[in-house]
């Protein structure tokens, strides 16, 4: 059975892009993989987080993952800072990775923008830590959204360079599992930006705890263009907002984009947005309700994370101890 590792930052409420790009696939992968799912709080503080909010959001994320169907008995769910192997291997990888490699990372450029000098060093080197997250478990498959493709290529480069530099065949190759549909859910306010829980506008995203009214309002206000929906999928290429809404509908209803347009193309956005609201409400609100129920018992969530950390540590500790021996510690 192949081992999966994947992470999500405990910063804010998970949004629809996290769900469609990551969480939903994590749930499915539990069938035939050994899964390790991590709330990556070390990554979260690459941008300043209010300490109390970070603790609270770690529990809230845990609740959303359990509500969505992650099974913490059959698999492992924990937070990154609880297992020291991540930080130790991350440091070693900071010394293996090359500045030239990091300079090519588009996500840093997107996040830092023009104000590059004023961002944390952690934000810049976070792909090295991400490589450590995966390789501390020798995980071979990593389900992520399309935005993480470049970071996984870097993780493979680091693994290969480590193997080469130390003359060992220690780290395996990593395969990215990127979902076919809705791999990149875009902002509801700007079809050229990805939907993100760190976007300052809450109108830009569906949060997994939104109720039916909130979802309906956000979809009603979602940016579109004045043309009717096309009937030919090719005509979506130059219309990012329309394309995003159609792709979300398609993946949630299990239809192809062509089928969606066969049903809804040729009319204005009104009726389509109503149908989209219905499938979103059906997919999102049960998860939100279960999340709220779980958050009423925070000690249960803390126990899940504690237990997960102990089991994660039991896998990572021997691997990272061996890495430390290989580098001469």
Alpha-carbon distance of 245 to 250, in angstroms, equals 9
Does 18 show up as a binding residue in the annotation?
A: yes
How many other CB atoms are found less than 10 A from the CB of residue 86? 26
Q: Identify the helix (H) or strand (E) that includes residue 301.
A: helix 298-327
Q: Counting contacts by CB under 6 A, is residue 18 touching ligand ADP?
A: yes
Q: Smallest distance from the beta carbon of 21 to ligand ADP, in angstroms?
A: 2
Alpha-carbon distance of 217 to 235, in angstroms, equals 27
Alpha-carbon distance of 84 to 82, in angstroms, equals 6
Question: What is the contact mask toward ligand ADP in residues 69 to 108, using x (rule: CB under 6 A)?
Answer: ----------------------------------------
Closer by beta carbon to ligand ADP, 86 or else 194: 194
Selected from 54, 159, 176, 185, the binder of ligand ADP by CB under 6 A is: 185
Catalytic residue among 73, 109, 111, 218: 111
Q: Counting contacts by CB under 6 A, is residue 195 touching ligand ADP?
A: yes
Closer by beta carbon to ligand ADP, 88 or else 197: 197
- Where are the strands (E) in 9-165, listed by range? 34-39, 76-79, 141-143
Question: What is the contact mask toward ligand ADP in residues 240 to 269, using x (rule: CB under 6 A)?
Answer: ------------------------------
Q: Smallest distance from the beta carbon of 87 to ligand ADP, in angstroms?
A: 19
* Contact criterion met (CB below 8 Å) for 58 and 10: yes
The question of whether 138 is a catalytic residue gets the answer: no
Does 185 show up as a binding residue in the annotation?
A: yes
Q: How many residues bind ligand ADP (CB under 6 A)?
A: 20
Question: What letters, b where the CB count within 10 A reaches 16 and e where it falls short, cover 131-169?
Answer: bbbbbbbbbebbbbbebbeebbbbbbbbbebbbeeeeee
Selected from 72, 145, 233, 288, the binder of ligand ADP by CB under 6 A is: 145
Stretch that binds ligand ADP, among 112-120, 195-203, 231-239, 248-256 (CB under 6 A): 195-203
The token pair at 79 is: 């937070």
Region for 265 from its dihedrals, namely left if φ exceeds 0, alpha if ψ lies in -120 to 50, beta otherwise:
beta
The question of whether 111 is a catalytic residue gets the answer: yes
Q: Smallest distance from the beta carbon of 150 to ligand ADP, in angstroms?
A: 11
Our measurement of the distance from residue 161's CA atom to the centroid of its chain's CA atoms, rounded to an integer in Å, reads: 26
Closer by beta carbon to ligand ADP, 151 or else 264: 151
CA 229 to each of CA 97, 256, 272, 313: distance values in angstroms, whole numbers, following the listed order: 47, 15, 9, 51
Q: Counting contacts by CB under 6 A, is residue 201 touching ligand ADP?
A: no
Does 47 show up as a binding residue in the annotation?
A: no
Question: Quick check: helix, strand or coil at residue 111?
Answer: helix
Closer by beta carbon to ligand ADP, 87 or else 177: 177
Q: Counting contacts by CB under 6 A, is residue 61 touching ligand ADP?
A: no
Q: Counting contacts by CB under 6 A, is residue 147 touching ligand ADP?
A: yes
Catalytic residue among 73, 109, 138, 197: 197
DSSP string, 240-295: HHHHHHHHHHHHHHT--HHHHHHHHTTS-HHHHHHHHHHHHHHHHHHHHHHHHHHH
Binding residues: 9-11, 17-18, 133, 145-147, 185, 194-198
Binding site for ligand ADP (CB under 6 A): 8-9, 11, 15, 17-18, 21-22, 144-145, 147-148, 183-185, 194-198
- Would you name the residues annotated as active-site residues? 111, 194, 197
Binding residues for L-tryptophan: 133
């Amino acid at each position: 059975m192949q081992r999966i590792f994947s992470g999500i930052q405990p910063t804010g409420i998970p949004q629809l892009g996290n769900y469609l790009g990551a969480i939903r696939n994590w749930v499915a992968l539990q069938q035939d993989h050994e899964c390790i799912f991590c709330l990556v709080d070390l990554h979260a503080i690459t941008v300043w987080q209010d300490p109390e909010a970070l603790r609270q959001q770690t529990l809230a994320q845990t609740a959303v993952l359990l509500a969505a169907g992650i099974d913490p008995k059959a698999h492992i769910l924990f937070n990154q800072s609880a297992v020291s192997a991540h930080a130790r291997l991350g440091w070693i990888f900071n010394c293996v990775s090359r500045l030239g490699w990091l300079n090519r990372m588009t996500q840093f450029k997107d996040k830092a923008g023009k104000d590059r000098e004023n961002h944390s060093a952690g934000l810049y080197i976070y792909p090295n830590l991400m490589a450590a997250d995966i390789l501390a478990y020798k995980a071979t498959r990593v389900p992520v959204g399309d935005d993480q493709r470049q970071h996984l290529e870097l993780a493979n480069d680091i693994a290969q360079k480590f193997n080469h530099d130390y003359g060992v065949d220690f780290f395996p190759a990593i395969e990215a599992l990127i979902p076919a549909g809705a791999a990149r859910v875009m902002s509801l306010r700007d079809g050229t930006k990805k939907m993100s829980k760190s976007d300052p506008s809450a109108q830009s995203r569906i949060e997994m705890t939104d109720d039916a009214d909130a979802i309906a309002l956000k979809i009603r206000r979602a940016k579109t263009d004045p043309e009717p929906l096309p009937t030919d999928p090719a005509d979506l290429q130059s219309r990012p907002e329309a394309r995003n809404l159609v792709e979300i509908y398609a993946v949630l209803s299990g239809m192809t984009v062509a089928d969606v347009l066969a049903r809804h193309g040729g009319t204005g956005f009104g009726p389509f947005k109503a149908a989209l609201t219905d499938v979103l409400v059906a997919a999102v609100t049960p998860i939100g309700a279960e999340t709220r129920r779980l958050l009423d018992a925070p000690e249960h969530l803390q126990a899940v994370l504690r237990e997960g950390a102990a089991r994660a540590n039991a896998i990572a500790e021997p691997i990272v101890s061996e890495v430390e021996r290989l580098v001469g510690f």
